[in-house]
Structure formats: structure tokens, C-alpha cells
């Protein structure tokens, strides 16, 4: 009688894999089949942004995330770094000199720390008048002097950064200080009182309060020609003065068909040459372009406020275009994975995007996950780029 292995009756796929007898002849092949099985499970579960990204995978979140358990599975599977959308902004934490609001930030940080998510604090100084609580600027009814303004800023930073020392991984120290027009810095109560000195002082104060935190200068359109050069000049000056600026935040609020690939690449090349790191801090690709809202002296606003083409869902053709553009963007990012420390999306899924409200109300679809938290074609396109092995040797 032949002594070959005896196949057990059909046990379904897992039964076949695990096999019946453990005679010598069949043990080795079955062992490797078992390894292959567990490897494929491991690789299958690696198909998330969090596991497939060569940088930290992040997301901007509603301040209410601790009360939204329905969002946690998507969050935990895809992202490892979280930025609170609003509750850590100066206007939220200290709207008046007398009032400190730490309730939401405390809950946000405790939630993230408890779930092994790293927190990006956002932001310590938002260098715009409409985003700075007015009391910062005033001394009675008169404008505060440079000394008063900077002392207030330093006390604010020491208290906020100190409170979360060791529990917040990175801070957007200064947000949106660069001018969109002809000037170097945006004119504001900050520049009127203190010129550009507030920027270096803000970084120094943050570093003193938490020497281990990664400190970021964050802005929008700072990859574009013109604004990029302003940013590089600012960085050169900050670096020459010894300011602890560790990375540049490129917000990345893009619009479909207008993603600035070339400008972005020039910026990443320049940051690499300076030995500076980049974070893509607030990424989305709007499918209902908004640029005209601000064009031609705002004269298109009434007309644009009626534009709401995708109320019943985003057409497959638009989703495919968005996917192609996200894919190209991540293909570019991959070439700079020695420069990029983190890519954070701005909001968890389409239903939570700020672009459903800003600058006018519309049903928008700018992210990788739809309103049910399901992956869109853009997610597949991004994962495909992340799966391409990087050629050996330094990134070029």
C-alpha cells in the first residue's frame, strides 16, 4: 500500500491550509503555506495609509472626536497623528485676557494619548488680525507696545506648550504669516508692533517650554513661486538667528485640475537643500474649485454661492480625475520621502470637510473617504503609489 500523506476530508480553505496529518513529507510544504497565509494577512492589513506610508500619516479632526466613537475605527486604522481642527487656536484657548479654555484641548490630548495617536498642536500664533483675539493687541484703548505684545505671546506659549509638555509631539508655532501680495509678511497687529521679531521669539518660547517638540512654520500657497521665495528668505533669517524651526508646513489645500506639482517639487528641492523637513499639514483636493470666489474684486460671489453640483454624489468621472491627481501627488511625495515627515489630511472624511462650508455651503468630496467612511478611488490611487518600492539609495 502506498505510504503517501492521507488527505483529510474537505475542511474548507482554512482546514486545507492547516492540513490534516503532520507526517514528514507534508510538514514542510504545509509550514510554508501557513507562513504565506499569515504573511498575506499581515500584508492585507497593511493596506492602510498608516501602515503603508513612509512618513507619519495624519489627519485634522473635529474637536469632538472623543465623543464620536463611530469615527474611531477609520481614524485608528488610517492615521497615527492628529491635529485638532479648532480648539487649540488662540481664539479658542484664550478669547479674552481673563479666560482660559482648556476643557476641549485637554480632552482631545487625553483621547489621543490614550489611543496611541500623536498630537500636532495647532496653532500658537495665527498671524492674522481676524484670527488673533483682540486683547493681545491692546493696551487699554491704545495699541500694545512691542514689549507688551511679545511678553503676552511668550507667556501664552509658555503656559500652553508647558501644559502639554511631553504629550504633544509637534506644534504649528506660527501660522500664515507670509503676505499674499507685495510685502514679505502679512500686515497685522503682530507686524505693526513687532516687525518680524515675533516669529523668532515664538519659536524660542515654544522650544523653551518643550525642548523635545517638533516646531513648524505653517502656511498656505507657500509652495507657489513668489511666496516660496518669501518663505525661504524668512527661513534663512530665522536659521541665521538660531531660531529652532524644524519643519515647514505646506497646508496643501488644493483644487482639482490645479494641483501645483511643479511648484511643489521646486519647494521640496529647496527645503532638501537647506536641510529642512516638510510636513504636508492640511491636505485636500476640492472638486468644486473656489478660486473665483476671491477673484475680480469678489464680484462673482453671488453667482458662486449657488454652485452646488454634487449634492447627490460625486460623478465617477470626477472621482477618477481626483484619484489620478491624488496619485500623481503621492508619486511626487514619494520622491521626497527623505524630506517629508508627515502627510496630514484636513478632516477624516468628505462629510466632515471644512470645504462643505467654506467659502460657501456646498456638498463637497475632497478627501480619500466618502461620507460613510468608505475608501474612494483616490484612496486606491494613493495606496497604489505607496506600495511601489522605492529604489535603493538616497532619494533624488
Burial-class residue 97 by CB neighbours within 10 Å (0-12, 13-18, 19+).
Answer: exposed
Buried-state track 366-376, b at ≥16 Cβ within 10 A, e below 16: bbbbbeebebb
Which triple of cell numbers denotes residue 245? 524651526
| Alpha-carbon distance values, 228 to 26, 268, 341 (Å) | 64, 10, 19
Buried-state track 281-319, b at ≥16 Cβ within 10 A, e below 16: bbbbbbbbebeeeeeeeeeeeeebeeeeebeeebeeebb
Binding mask 61-100 for ligand GLA (x = CB under 6 A): ----------------------------------------
CB of 347 to ligand GLA, least distance (A): 8
**Longest CA pairwise span in the chain (Å):** 105
Residue 242's SS3 state is coil
Task: Assess 360 for contact with ligand GLA (CB under 6 A).
Answer: no
Question: Which position among 223, 282, 284, 350 is part of the footprint of ligand GLA (CB under 6 A)?
Answer: 282
- Distant-in-sequence, close-in-space partners of 213: CB < 8 Å, separation ≥ 6: 121, 161, 165, 168, 169, 170, 171, 206, 207
Nearest CB to ligand GLA, comparing residues 33 and 62: 62
Binding mask 110-139 for ligand GLA (x = CB under 6 A): ------------x-----------------
Task: Assess 344 for contact with ligand GLA (CB under 6 A).
Answer: no
Nearest CB to ligand GLA, comparing residues 199 and 381: 199
Task: Assess 350 for contact with ligand GLA (CB under 6 A).
Answer: no
Residue 127's SS3 state is coil
Question: Which position among 57, 251, 352, 364 is part of the footprint of ligand GLA (CB under 6 A)?
Answer: 251
Task: Assess 354 for contact with ligand GLA (CB under 6 A).
Answer: yes
- Please give the residue whose beta carbon sits closest to ligand GLA in the complex: 354
Which triple of cell numbers denotes residue 290? 473656489
Nearest CB to ligand GLA, comparing residues 68 and 272: 68
Q: Is the dihedral of CA 178, 275, 48, 171 positive or negative?
A: negative
Task: Assess 57 for contact with ligand GLA (CB under 6 A).
Answer: no
Nearest CB to ligand GLA, comparing residues 170 and 383: 170
Q: How far apart are CA 339 and CA 213, in angstroms?
A: 18
Q: Which residues are catalytic?
A: 176, 282
Nearest CB to ligand GLA, comparing residues 127 and 381: 127
What's phi and psi for 304, nearest 5 deg?
A: -70, -30
Q: How far apart are CA 237 and CA 177, in angstroms?
A: 14
- Distant-in-sequence, close-in-space partners of 94: CB < 8 Å, separation ≥ 6: 100, 101, 133, 156
CB of 220 to ligand GLA, least distance (A): 6
Task: Assess 356 for contact with ligand GLA (CB under 6 A).
Answer: no
Count of residues of this chain found to bind ligand GLA when the rule CB under 6 A is applied: 6
Nearest CB to ligand GLA, comparing residues 210 and 282: 282
Q: How far apart are CA 214 and CA 346, in angstroms?
A: 20
Question: Which position among 48, 78, 132, 175 is part of the footprint of ligand GLA (CB under 6 A)?
Answer: 175
Which triple of cell numbers denotes residue 4? 503517501
CB of 237 to ligand GLA, least distance (A): 22
Binding mask 361-380 for ligand GLA (x = CB under 6 A): --------------------
Q: How many CB atoms lie within 10 A of CB 239?
A: 14
Nearest CB to ligand GLA, comparing residues 10 and 130: 130
Nearest CB to ligand GLA, comparing residues 120 and 383: 120
Which stretches of the chain bind ligand GLA, using CB under 6 A? 122, 175, 220, 251, 282, 354
Amino acid at each position: 500500500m502506498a505510504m503517501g500523506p492521507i488527505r483529510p476530508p474537505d475542511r474548507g480553505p482554512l482546514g486545507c491550509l492547516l492540513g490534516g496529518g503532520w507526517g514528514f513529507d507534508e510538514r514542510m510544504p504545509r509550514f510554508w503555506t501557513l507562513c504565506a497565509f499569515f504573511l498575506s494577512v499581515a500584508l492585507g492589513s497593511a493596506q492602510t495609509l498608516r501602515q503603508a506610508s513612509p512618513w507619519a500619516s495624519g489627519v485634522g479632526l473635529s474637536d469632538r472626536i472623543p465623543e464620536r466613537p463611530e469615527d474611531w475605527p477609520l481614524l485608528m486604522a488610517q492615521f497615527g497623528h492628529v491635529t485638532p481642527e479648532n480648539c487649540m487656536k488662540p481664539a479658542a484657548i484664550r478669547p479674552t485676557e481673563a479666560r482660559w479654555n482648556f476643557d476641549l484641548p485637554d480632552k482631545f490630548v487625553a483621547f489621543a494619548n490614550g489611543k496611541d495617536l500623536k498630537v500636532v498642536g495647532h496653532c500658537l500664533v495665527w498671524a492674522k488680525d481676524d484670527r488673533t483675539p483682540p486683547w493681545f493687541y491692546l493696551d487699554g484703548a491704545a495699541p500694545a507696545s512691542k514689549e507688551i505684545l511679545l511678553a503676552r505671546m511668550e507667556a501664552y506659549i509658555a503656559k500652553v506648550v508647558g501644559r502639554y509638555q511631553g504629550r504633544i509631539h509637534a506644534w504649528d508655532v506660527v501660522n500664515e504669516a507670509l503676505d499674499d501680495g507685495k510685502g514679505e509678511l502679512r500686515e497685522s497687529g503682530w507686524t505693526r508692533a513687532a516687525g518680524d521679531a515675533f516669529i523668532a521669539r515664538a519659536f524660542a518660547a515654544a522650544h523653551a517650554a518643550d525642548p523635545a517638540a517638533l516646531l513648524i512654520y505653517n502656511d498656505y500657497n507657500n509652495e507657489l513661486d513668489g511666496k516660496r521665495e518669501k518663505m525661504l528668505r524668512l527661513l534663512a533669517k530665522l536659521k541665521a538667528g538660531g531660531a529652532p524651526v524644524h519643519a515647514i508646513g505646506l497646508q496643501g489645500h488644493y483644487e482639482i485640475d490645479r494641483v501645483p506639482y511643479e511648484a511643489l517639487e521646486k519647494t521640496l528641492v529647496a527645503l532638501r537643500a537647506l536641510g529642512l523637513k516638510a510636513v504636508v499639514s492640511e491636505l485636500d483636493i476640492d472638486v468644486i474649485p473656489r478660486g473665483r470666489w476671491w477673484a475680480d474684486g469678489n464680484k462673482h460671489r453671488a453667482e458662486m454661492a449657488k454652485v452646488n453640483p454634487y449634492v447627490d454624489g460625486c460623478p465617477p468621472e470626477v472621482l477618477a480625475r481626483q484619484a489620478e491627481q491624488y496619485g500623481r501627488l503621492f508619486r511626487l511625495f514619494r520622491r521626497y520621502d527623505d524630506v517629508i515627515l508627515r502627510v496630514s489630511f484636513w478632516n477624516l472624511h468628505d462629510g466632515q470637510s471644512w470645504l462643505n462650508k467654506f467659502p460657501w455651503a456646498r456638498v463637497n468630496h475632497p478627501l480619500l473617504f466618502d461620507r460613510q467612511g468608505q475608501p474612494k478611488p483616490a484612496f486606491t490611487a494613493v495606496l497604489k503609489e505607496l506600495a511601489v518600492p522605492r529604489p535603493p539609495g538616497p532619494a533624488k
